[in-house]
């Protein structure tokens, strides 16, 4: 027995077949609309009915039919193009018998071309009075009538094409995403950063602590890894004399999926020679303020019943001070591995590795006691050296590094540090990572001999940073889940 949806599809296919028999192609090409709904509204929204009546200009607009209200020999349609919506009036007396017969074969979801003059209805709505109409594309599947009422949000993610058609807010989110990336790119270029592209497939995974995806190149007969970060390649370019570089591109991490995590995500990563992590914190404040003003129009951005204030300067705490002042952790807890381990266990924390040192345990306590409380933009600085294998040691305290992470609404948004450019120190850190890898830490780094070779050629003092584009877009578009800001998020396979 056919489902109602299949019946709807059959009716629409039958209409398309009738058109073919009458010599009309329901999937035409080569149409050229002369304007968009945005241009029409900009030109005519301020015009009254009398002024429009004197304007005989004809306009042709192509768009998807979103609604039809038929009154026998006349009808009002709502059409939507890339720029917005417009009402169209179709009257048998105006378009003629043949065209009105074609109109009767139009369904919601079809794409049409409409040409005519502008007028205002009795209720004052700006409307195109169609003199001709053309069916451009027949839609076999009907649009959902109550899309906003769907409880299965995954259907929206799986069928993003439908989500974009019927949900204006979704379209606005992805328009904003594009604007955010454009604003960031302009910000970087204006400061003499050179945009580059580095490999997506790496012979050695590196640049971050994460489990990689593995693939295999048949011709070369070698395993490769989808990159978890472009860091080590970008710093090779710094060695080569490209003193300010940035890349906006994908990273891949074979980890869990959540409202904050997608295995494929977009990062801005950049490096500036003759700069420190302090310089990059100031640069980040300027960037976020600039982007918020350009895209949202304000430094105060509403987010999930809160308001995020991007006004500089952002708050700054060392990790140690944040644990004591924000997390209310007794300073004595942070003085020895024994004390820290006992406290972590009291919080229900299970160590990622039984061999973790004091620095790693302190970082885990921070994640449990402080992170979620960092609602307004806050820099946490001076991370333990143990959890920062690529960062420069602090000159005054070698147990910590010159590193920061930026947190907003309890989420890590950016990670930056003064780069480690001492090849011997870096080699020692890599060896410690390899030891952790052998002990079963799947997120530990490998030893990258070529990168050490690059450092041995001399890298100028440099600071680098990575910024999660998806999480930034979430904040600036009031989106609760990362899936809301990625056009095609990774989803669990549906069993057929």
Q: Are 257 and 406 in a shared domain?
A: yes
Same domain, 14 and 56: yes
User: Per the domain annotation, does 77 fall within a domain?
Assistant: yes
Token pair, residue 476, equals 């600036």
Dihedral over Cα of 15, 16, 21, 27: its sign: positive
What does the longest C-alpha to C-alpha distance in the chain come to?
Answer: 89
Q: Is the distance from CB of 452 to CB of 492 less than 8 angstroms?
A: no
The two structure tokens encoding residue 153: 């949000």
Q: Which of 55, 57, 114, 44 is nearest to 81 (CA)?
A: 114
Query: By residue range, what is the domain housing residue 255?
Result: 165-327+370-484
3-state secondary structure of 117: strand
**Residue 148, domain member (yes or no):** no
**Any domain includes 160:** no
The reported pLDDT for the residue numbered 152 is 65
Q: Nearest to residue 417, comparing CAs of 375, 466, 369? A: 466
CATH number of the domain to which 286 belongs? 3.30.930.10
Q: Does 388 share its domain with 419?
A: yes
Residue where one domain finishes, among candidates 78, 108, 143: 143
Strand order in the sheet with 403-408: 194-195, 244-252, 264-273, 462-468, 411-418, 403-408, 378-381, 315-318
What is the DSSP secondary-structure string of 54-116? Answer: H----EEEEEEEEEEEE-SSEEEEEEEETTEEEEEEEEHHHH-HHHHHHHTT--TT-EEEEEE
CA distance 306 to 309: 10
User: Distances from the Cα of 230 to the Cαs of 192, 201, 250, 254, 465, in angstroms?
Assistant: 20, 10, 9, 16, 11
Please classify residue 284 by burial: count the beta carbons closer than 10 Å to its beta carbon, then call 0-12 exposed, 13-18 middle and 19+ buried.
buried
The enclosing domain of 65 has a CATH number of 2.40.50.140
User: pTM value?
Assistant: 0.92
What is the tens place of the pLDDT at every residue in 137-172?
A: 999 999 886 544 444 688 889 999 999 998 899 999
For residue 151, the model assigns a pLDDT of 42
Residues 258 and 294 in one domain: yes
Label the pairing between strands 378-381 and 315-318.
parallel
Give residue 147's pLDDT.
Answer: 46
Residue 458 CB-density burial (10 A; 0-12 exposed, 13-18 middle, 19+ buried): exposed
pLDDT given at position 3: 56
Q: Any residues with CB less than 8 A from the CB of 307 and at least 6 apart, and which?
A: 300, 301
Are residues 174 and 120 both part of a single domain? no
Please report whether residue 315 resides in a domain: yes
Measuring CA to CA, how many Å separate 426 from each of 205, 388, 413?
16, 11, 26
Residues 235 and 384 in one domain: yes
Residues lower than pLDDT 50 in the chain:
1-2, 147-151
The verdict on residue 72 lying in a domain is yes
- DSSP assignment letter at 216: E
Helices (H), 298-441: 319-325, 337-346, 358-369, 423-438
Specify whether 102 is located in the same domain as 185. Answer: no
> Are residues 203 and 136 part of one domain?
no
Sign of torsion over alpha carbons 106, 84, 123, 126? negative
Short-list 433, 461, 464, 465, CA closest to 447: 433
Task: Supply 310's token pair.
Answer: 């991007």
Do residue 216 and residue 316 come from a single domain? yes
**Domain for residue 457, yes or no?**
yes
Q: Domain count of the chain? A: 2
């Amino acid at each position: 027995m056919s489902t109602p949806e299949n019946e709807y599809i059959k009716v629409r296919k039958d209409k398309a077949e009738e058109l073919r028999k009458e010599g009309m192609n329901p999937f035409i090409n080569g149409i050229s609309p002369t304007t968009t709904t945005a241009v029409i509204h900009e030109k005519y929204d301020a015009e009254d009915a009398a002024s429009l009546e004197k304007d005989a200009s004809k306009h042709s607009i192509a768009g998807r039919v979103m609604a039809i209200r038929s009154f026998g020999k006349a009808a009002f349609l709502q059409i939507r193009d890339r720029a917005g919506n417009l009402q169209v009036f179709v009257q048998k007396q105006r378009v003629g018998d043949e065209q009105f017969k074609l109109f009767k074969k139009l369904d919601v979801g079809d794409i049409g071309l409409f040409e005519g003059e502008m007028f205002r209805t009795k209720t004052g709505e700006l409307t195109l009075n169609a003199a001709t109409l053309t069916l451009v594309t027949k839609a076999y599947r009907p649009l959902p009538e109550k899309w906003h009422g769907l409880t299965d949000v995954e259907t929206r993610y799986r069928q993003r094409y439908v989500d974009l058609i019927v949900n204006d807010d979704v379209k606005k989110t992805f328009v904003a995403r594009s604007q955010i990336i454009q604003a960031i790119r302009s910000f970087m270029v204006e400061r003499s950063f050179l945009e580059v592209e580095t490999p997506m497939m790496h012979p050695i995974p590196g640049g971050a602590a994460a489990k990689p995806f593995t693939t295999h190149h048949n011709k070369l007969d070698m395993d490769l890894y989808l990159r978890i970060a472009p860091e080590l390649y970008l710093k090779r370019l710094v060695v080569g004399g490209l003193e300010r570089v940035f890349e906006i591109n994908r990273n891949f991490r074979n980890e869990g999926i959540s409202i904050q995590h997608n295995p494929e995500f977009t990062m801005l990563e950049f490096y500036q020679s003759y700069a420190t992590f302090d310089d990059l914190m100031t640069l980040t404040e300027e960037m976020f303020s600039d982007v918020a003003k350009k895209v949202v129009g304000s430094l105060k951005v509403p987010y999930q019943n809160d308001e995020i204030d991007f006004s500089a300067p952002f708050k700054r705490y060392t990790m140690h001070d944040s644990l004591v002042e924000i997390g209310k952790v007794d300073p004595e807890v942070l003085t020895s591995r024994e004390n820290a381990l006992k406290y972590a266990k009291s919080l229900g924390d299970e160590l990622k590795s039984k061999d973790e040192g004091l620095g790693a345990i302190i970082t885990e306590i921070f994640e449990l006691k402080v992170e979620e409380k960092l609602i307004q933009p806050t820099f946490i600085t001076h991370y333990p050296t143990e959890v920062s294998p690529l960062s420069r040691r602090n000159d005054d305290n070698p147990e910590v590094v010159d590193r920061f992470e930026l947190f907003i609404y309890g989420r890590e948004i950016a990670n930056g540090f003064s780069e480690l450019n001492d090849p011997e120190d870096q080699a020692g850190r890599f060896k410690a990572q390899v030891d952790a890898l052998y002990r079963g830490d799947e997120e530990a780094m490998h030893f990258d001999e070529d990168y050490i070779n690059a450092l041995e050629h001399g890298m100028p003092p440099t600071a680098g940073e990575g910024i999660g584009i998806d999480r930034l877009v979430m904040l600036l578009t009031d989106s609760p889940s990362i899936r809301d800001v990625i056009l095609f998020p990774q989803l669990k396979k549906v069993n057929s």
